């Protein structure tokens, strides 16, 4: 029998799931109950709900998932990036899809001092670097501006998929992503 993860891991797992399905406004009690963890442990490990929420975003490994999808698509930068949109189409088609966790956090948490905002920023910066690197390898004339376009497409897909169920925004975006790669100096 596998040993049960410690309270810290259980808290992160429970919070990751509940803040996604119920939103960040989910109560601390619900997280504690699902994690089967004492109230005090939360404050011991994360200082409070804000710290827990921020750590959920920080440790989410979203960038790794993007990297993995691209690596499985081979070497060609164009194919690697287009694979991202294929994956987005699969993700946004799942009934459990509830939008991008980072965008949701950014829009829901009004307090500009909330520690989650820094994590969101860090994630988006990393994603931008990821995309810019692919465009650079592809010989894009302006990798930075091109990455901006790809990020807009990704954010657009994730946002649009929530508000218009049934549409397949990732497919629409994929065609535009091809246009980004068609840019010539």
**CA gyration radius, the chain:** 18
Rule CB under 7 A: say whether 60 interacts with DNA: no
Distance between CA atoms of residues 175 and 177, nearest Å = 5
Taking the least distance from each CB to a copy of itself, the nearer of 2 and 110 is 110
Q: Using the rule CB under 8 A, which residue among 9, 60, 76, 148 binds a copy of itself? A: 148
* Contact call for residues 32 and 10 (beta carbons, < 8 A): no
Near a copy of itself by CB under 8 A: residue from 46, 66, 102, 181: 102
Rounded to whole angstroms, the Cα distance separating 163 from 6 reads 37
Burial of 165 (0-12, 13-18, 19+ CB in 10 A): exposed
Among 38, 90, 118, 152, binds a copy of itself (CB under 8 A): 152
Among 15, 120, 130, 135, the residue binding a copy of itself under the rule CB under 8 A is 120
Helix (H, G, I), strand (E, B), or coil: what is residue 113? coil
Helix ranges (H only) for 59-115 are 62-71, 77-93, 101-108
Instruction: Considering only the stretches 48-56, 62-70, 75-83, 123-131, report the one whose residues sit in contact with a copy of itself under the rule CB under 8 A.
Output: 123-131
Regarding 84 and contact with a copy of itself (CB under 8 A), the answer is no
Q: Give which of DNA, a copy of itself, none residue 180 binds (C-beta under 5 to 8 Å, depending on kind).
A: a copy of itself
Nearby residues of 100 by Cβ (< 8 Å), 6 or more positions away: 155, 158, 159
Residue 72, both tokens: 């499985």
Rounded Cα–Cα distance for residues 131 and 81 (Å): 8
- What is the per-residue binding string for DNA in 39-58, x denoting contact by CB under 7 A? xxx-xxx--xxx--------
Q: Contact between 28 and DNA (CB under 7 A)?
A: yes
Residue with tokens 């994956």: 87
For a copy of itself, the binding residues (CB under 8 A) are 21-23, 25, 98-100, 102-104, 106-110, 120-121, 124-125, 128, 145, 148-149, 151-160, 162-164, 167-169, 172-173, 175-176, 179-180
Under the rule (CB under 7 A), what is the footprint of DNA? 6-8, 25-30, 36-41, 43-45, 48-50
């Amino acid at each position: 029998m596998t040993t049960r993860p410690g309270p810290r891991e259980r808290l992160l797992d429970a919070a990751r799931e509940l803040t996604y399905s119920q939103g960040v406004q989910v109560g601390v009690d619900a997280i504690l109950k699902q994690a089967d963890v004492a109230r005090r442990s939360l404050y011991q490990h994360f200082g409070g709900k804000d710290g827990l929420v921020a750590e959920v975003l920080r440790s989410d490994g979203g960038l790794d998932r993007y990297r993995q999808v691209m690596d499985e698509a081979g070497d060609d930068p164009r194919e690697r990036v287009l694979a991202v949109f294929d994956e987005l189409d699969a993700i946004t088609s799942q009934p459990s899809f509830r939008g991008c966790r980072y965008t949701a956090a950014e829009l829901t948490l009004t307090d500009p001092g909330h520690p989650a905002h820094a994590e969101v920023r860090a994630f988006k910066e990393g994603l931008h670097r990821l995309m810019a690197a692919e465009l650079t390898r592809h010989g894009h004339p302006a990798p930075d501006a091109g990455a901006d376009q790809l990020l807009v497409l990704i954010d657009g897909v994730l946002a649009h998929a929530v508000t218009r169920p049934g549409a397949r925004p990732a497919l629409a975006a994929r065609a535009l992503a091809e246009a980004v790669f068609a840019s010539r100096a």
